[in-house]
Amino acid sequence: MKKIHIKTWGCQMNEYDSSIILKVLKKNFNCKETNHVEKSDLIILNTCSIREKAQEKLFHQLGRWKNLKKKKKIIIAVGGCVAVQEKKNIYKRAPFVDIVFGPKTIHRLPKMIHLIKNNTKNIIDIRAKKLKKFKFFQKKSIPQIISYISIMEGCDKCCSFCIVPKTRGREISRTPEEIYLESKFLSKNGTKEIILLGQNVNSYKGKFNNGKICKLSKLIKIISKIKKIKRIRFTTSHPIEFTKDLIQTYKKIPKLVSYLHLPVQSGSDKILKIMKRSYTILQYKKIIKKLKLIRPNIQITSDFIIGFPGETKKDFQKTIKLIKKIKFDMSFSFIYSPRPGTIASKLKDKINLKEKKKRLYILQKKINKNTLFWSKKMVGTYQDVLVEKYIYKKNKKKLYGKTQNNRIVIFKGPKSLIGKIVFIKIYKAYLYKLKGNLKKKYVKNG
């Protein structure tokens, strides 16, 4: 076990899980990560089941690795949501795979590897009641300006289109003490911005050591007290749990950025009901209205599913109307594709692909128009920019950072500004990025 190769698909939570996998294996085998799959002793594929035909993507990738087993003694492991979804089917179609593990059993990987070395075949270990994997959070030696922390696992909402409750299980929250310690460690190693992760992050209910419940609003307050942490974000939220205390957090905690990703999925109450989203468009708009009263400049992004079974042209127009009303800044928008084992996969889909593509094009064009509108509105303004790194543009060094509302800003400045929040005057706007100049007294804080 000298070298390992980890390939990660999907969301930031999968990226975070992969960092834990690396930590667990380094601790137990003193191994190194390699980008060269042919040089590795262990290959891990950390999968995601959100997109269409995720399982086919998995088997295509495994097919490309099949010949490696013939050339050298190598262990192949499949983890993540597709591993939980497919289980024994992985061995039926790819019998050369050694290990199938789930998002909650990462901490047991060393034991699985030892069993394989002792000639145990086809291990499946995908279930766990506790979140022991988080004991191995990645302690990064390389300074990282922005760091992610998974604060919970699973989802209890059971939306009709979503497979997450089946693959990641019921909601389990980490303790606030554990999250605070990880945040504190990261802050000492250069992190200035913490992004809190969860499949349904605003349903977080961690237990203090004394047994009392800690909600997301309280957790944000706790982390905000870490002096070196300058910004806090969280994703992804569910509207039904965007409660009064969380809305008030935007008033009480200045470190909580003026940006929110709040998936709505559709602008039609009829479609939301079929999706089992448990809120109405009126309720959604009330949340946004309350937030904008507290933070007038807050930018809202969202998710949209296009062509969901039963979506008429009238339902789609309601989605477009909502986009115009809220003026969403950006979005993740996709054509609906059925996930195996979900309620929606049994619904009759009468919308042809051509129509779905047409609706998606109209929606994305409207969202892009909004994105450009908000970008241009920032021209001439001064923005707080957290400087992340150097980039190279036409052989010239430039700095790269992000505003509170998640806009990329490119500007000239000294390397010493990396990790600091600076004042930038915006002079040019593109669709997803801005260009600016440093203000004379430019450093806000360290």
Q: How far apart are CA 250 and CA 248, in angstroms?
A: 5
How far apart are the C-alpha atoms of 46 and 54, rounded to whole Å?
12
pLDDT score recorded for residue 395: 59
Q: Please give the pLDDT value at position 69.
A: 86
At 204-253, the pLDDT tens digits run: 999 999 999 999 999 999 999 999 999 999 999 999 999 999 999 999 99
Residue 364 is predicted with a pLDDT of 97
> What pLDDT, on a 0 to 100 scale, did the predictor assign at position 75?
96
pLDDT in tens, 153-163: 999 999 999 98
Q: What is the distance between the alpha carbons of residues 432 and 411, in angstroms, rounded to a whole number?
A: 15
Least confidently predicted of 85-94, 163-172, 316-325: 163-172
Q: What pLDDT is attached to residue 72? A: 86
pLDDT for position 15:
92
Q: CB of 254 within 8 A of CB of 260?
A: no
For residues 362-366, give the mean pLDDT.
98
pLDDT band at 140 (very low <50, low <70, confident <90, very high): low
CA distance 169 to 299: 31
The pTM is what? Answer: 0.91
CA-CA distance, 413 to 398, in Å (whole number)?
A: 7
* pLDDT higher than 60, residue 446: no
Confirm if 358 and 316 have CB atoms less than 8 A apart.
no
Q: What confidence tier does 393 reach under pLDDT thresholds 50, 70, 90?
A: low
Rg (CA), the chain: 23
pLDDT of 409 above 70: yes
Average pLDDT across the chain, whole number: 93
Residues 92 and 374: their CA atoms lie apart, in Å, by: 51
Q: What is the pLDDT of residues 12-35, one digit of tens each?
A: 899 999 999 999 999 899 999 999
Q: Is the pLDDT of residue 256 over 90?
A: yes
The pLDDT score that the predictor gives to residue 62 is 94
Q: Return the bridge partners of 196, or none.
A: 149, 234
Structure confidence at residue 445 (pLDDT): 60
**With pLDDT > 90 as the criterion, what percentage of the chain qualifies?**
82
**What pLDDT, on a 0 to 100 scale, did the predictor assign at position 132?**
80
Task: Answer with the residue of higher pLDDT: 188 or 143.
Answer: 188
**Rounded mean pLDDT, 179-194:** 94
Tell me how far CA of residue 416 lies from CA of 64, 112, 152, 193, 197, in angstroms. 44, 45, 35, 18, 30
